[in-house]
Amino acid sequence: MDKPANQLQKQGIRIEGLKKRYGEGDTAVDALKGVDMQVAPGEVVGLVGPSGSGKTTMLKCLGAVIEPTAGRMTLASEVIYDERWKISDLRALRRDKIGFVFQAPYLIPFLDVTDNVAILPMLAGRPNGEARKRALELLEALDIAHRARAMPSQLSGGEQQRVSIARALVNRPPVILADEPTAPLDSERALAVMRILNQMARQYETAIIIVTHDEKIIPTFKRIYRIRDGRTEEEAGEGRSLQ
Amino acid sequence: MISLAGRDILHSLEKFVLTGVGLGLLIGVTLTMAGVYRGMVDDAEVLLDNSGTDLWVVQKDTLGPYAEPSSLEDDTWRGIRAMPGVADAADVTYLTMQVQGIEPTGLRDVRSMVVGIAPGAPGTPGWPPYLIAGRQITHSHYEVVADIASGFRLGEQVQIRRERYTVVGLTRRLVSSSGDPMVFIPLKDAQQAQFLKDNDAIVRNRARTAGNPALNRPGVPGLLDAVIASQSTNPYVNAVLVQITPGYTPDEVAASIRRWKRLTVYTRAQMEDILVKKLIATASKQIGMFLVILALVSAAIVAFIIYTLTLGKIREIAVLKLIGTTNRTIAAMIMQQAVGLGLIGFLVGKIAATFWGPFFPRYVLLEPADTARGFAIVVVICVLASLLAIRAALKVDPAEAIGG
C-alpha cells in the first residue's frame, strides 16, 4: 500500500482460466468457462458480447463482488484470486484497488460533487482536507471543478458521469471497471466520456475495462475482448481516433 | 470522515423536519401524560403539605378523610388537644360539590372541594397556609377563601347549597386529589352544607318523626322537639387535624391517640401512601398504559419512516458497499438518522408540552428528571426502530450496483 502508485500499477490486471458456476448439480450453469484477459496500465479495452454471454458475471468477479469458481486473478502484481480469494478484506480491495463506473452514475444524492468523489479516500482513512484536495484535483482534470459544490441533482447526465469517473479514479486504483458507461448518453457525449477515460488511463496509468455493447464506442477500442458462451476471444479493434 | 447521516438529513431537511414535528407532537402528548401523573402526585403532596398537619385522626378503620368517608363527633378534637405531644388540633370537613358563582361574573358551576375549617387564626390545622390576594376568613359565617383555579374573584358572591358567601381571599395550588380547587368556608357552614336539607325534605322528615309513636309520646312533652332539634343539627366532622409538639415523633403521638381514643390515625407518610398508591392508583395505571401505547406508536412511526427512507436508498447503499463502505458505517448512518429524527421530535415535543401544559385543566408538572428519562427513552426507541432498516440495508448486495 505504501509503494508509489505507479510501481503498483505496472502489471495492470491479468486473468487466467477464470470460471464461474452458478448453482449445483443438474441446475448448475457455467457462466464463465475459462476466461483469459490481460490489460496493461494505461490501456483501455472493451469487453463486448450479447446479453447473457457472461459480461456482468465477469465484471462482478473482477470487482471482487462475487467469488469465481476457479482460475487466477492478478492485480498490480498481487495475486488476489487463485482458486480462492487471497485477500481477506475484499471491501478494502474494492475501495483501494478497483474503481467502478456504472451505466448510471449512482452518485450519492445527499453529498455534493466534491464529497461524492472525496468519500473514497475518506473511507480509506484519509483526512477530510486531503481527500477533498485530491477530489478537487481530479475534478479540475475532468473539467468539472466549477460544479464542485453542486448537488448531483443539479448536474447534467454527462457531468454526473464525469463525477463518477473522478470517484473511480480518486484512490488511484490500478484498474477501473466500467459497466456500460456511455449507454444513456448521445454519440457526442459518449465519445467525450471515452476521451476522458482514455486520457485518464494514460495520465494515471490505470487499466480500464469497459463492458459495453454501445456501437458508438466499440470502434474506438484498440483491443477488444469478445465474450461468447462464457469464453473470451481477443481481437484487435479499429482504434478510431477520439479527437 | 463526513457524517453521512447528517448530510442525508440536511438533504431531506423538509421531510425530516415535518416527520420530526409529527413525531414531536406525539412525544409532546407523551410528556404531557407523564406530567399529568406527576401533577396528580404533586397535588396530593401539596394537599398534605398545605394542610399544615402532622397527623390525620379519622373514623376507626377507614381510609378517611380523602380516600373514604370518615365521620367523627365535632368535639373529639378537645380530647386529642389535651394529649401529650399534641400542639394543636382542629376539626375539618371535606365535601366535593358544585359551587355556583353568582356575581359579578354571572351564573356558573365550579366543581370544588369545600373545606370546612375550624375557628382560629392563620396556622391553625386545615387553614390555607398562604394567600395571594385578600384576607383569611375572619367572620363565623358566609366567607370564602378560594383557590385561584376556581376562577372566583375577590368580592364575588358564590352559592353553596342554600347560602351565599363572599370571596374574601384567594390562594393557589390548593386542590383535591382529583384536581378540584379548594374552597374554604367556616366549619359550621360546612357542617350545615353537608347535612342541610331543602324545606320540603325538612317538612316531610318532621312529619315522619311526629308520626313515630316512639318519638312522639303523649306522656312525654318536649320529646318530639328534642328529637327534631337533634335531627336538624350536624355534630360531625370528617377528621381532626393534629400538629405535634416539637420533640415528639408523629408515630409516638399517633400510637397514643390510637390507644386512648380508639380512632385511626395516619402520619404524613401513611397519608401520602393512601393518596398516591390507593386514590390515584387507577388513574396512574391508565396513564401508564397510555405511555406504553404512545411509546409503541412513536417507535412504529420512527421505524416506518427510517425503513422507508432506507428502502429509497437501496441503490446508493449498494454503491456505498461496492466502493468499500463498511457495514458499521452504513448501520451508523441509519441509526444516526433515526436518532436525529428522535432529537427533532423530542425538541418539538418538549416545546409543545411546555407550551400547552398550562392550558390543561389539571396541573401538569414537567419534571427535568422525567424530561431526561423521556429523552433517553426516545433515543432507545429510535435505536431499536432503526434495527429493521439496518437489517434491510445490510442485506443489500453490493453486486446490485453492477449490471442487472
Using one digit for the tens of pLDDT, what is the confidence trace for A56-111?
A: 889 899 999 899 999 999 998 889 999 999 988 888 899 889 999 888 888 998 89
Contact A56 B1 (CB under 8 A): no
The 10 Å CB-count burial string (b at 16+, else e) for B250-280 is beebbebbeeebebbbbbbebbbebbbeebb
Q: Tell me, what's the pLDDT at B197?
A: 76
Domain ranges of chain A: 5-107+172-236
Contacts of B93 (CB under 8 A, 6+ apart): B114, B115, B116, B187, B190, B191, B194, B237, B238
- Out of 3.40.50.300, 3.30.1380.20, 1.20.140.70, 3.40.190.10, the CATH code matching A5-107+172-236 is 3.40.50.300
pLDDT digits (tens, 9 = 90+) for B114-165: 999 999 888 899 999 999 999 999 998 999 999 999 999 999 999 998 889 9
Contact B401 A128 (CB under 8 A): no
Confidence of residue A203 (pLDDT cuts 50, 70, 90): confident
Alpha helices, DSSP H only, in B86-212? 187-195, 199-210
Q: Which of B7, B316, B322 sits opposite A100 (nearest CB)?
A: B322
Q: How far is A26 from chain B (nearest CA, A)?
A: 24
Phi, psi torsion values for B377, nearest 5 degrees: -65, -40
Q: How far is B324 from chain A (nearest CA, A)?
A: 5
Task: State mean pLDDT over A157-169.
Answer: 89
Report chain B's mean pLDDT, rounded to a whole number: 89
Confidence of residue A19 (pLDDT cuts 50, 70, 90): very high
Domain ranges of chain B: 4-44+281-401, 60-196+234-262
Is B332 within 8 Å of chain A by CB?
A: no
Report chain A's mean pLDDT, rounded to a whole number: 87
pLDDT digits (tens, 9 = 90+) for A99-123: 998 888 889 988 999 999 999 999 8
pLDDT digits (tens, 9 = 90+) for B320-374: 888 888 899 999 999 998 899 889 999 999 999 999 998 988 889 998 998 999 8
Q: Which of residues A232 and B106 earns the better pLDDT score?
A: A232
CB B384 within 8 A of CB B299: yes
Q: Tell me, what's the pLDDT at A213?
A: 83
Tell me which residues of chain B, numbers 4 to 23, contact chain A at a CB-CB cutoff of 8 Å: 4, 7-8, 10-12
Q: Which chain A residue shows the shortest CA-CA distance from B13?
A: A110
Q: Tell me, what's the pLDDT at A10?
A: 57
Q: How far is B379 from chain A (nearest CA, A)?
A: 24
Q: What is the ipTM of this complex?
A: 0.82
Contact A119 B2 (CB under 8 A): yes
Q: Tell me, what's the pLDDT at A3?
A: 41
Q: Which of A100, A108, A122 sits opposite B316 (nearest CB)?
A: A108
Quote the Cα angle for A139-A142-A144, to 5°: 60
Contact A211 B403 (CB under 8 A): yes
- Edge-first strand listing for the sheet containing A70-75: A29-39, A13-22, A70-75, A78-82
Contacts of B176 (CB under 8 A, 6+ apart): B43, B47, B66, B94, B96, B113, B182
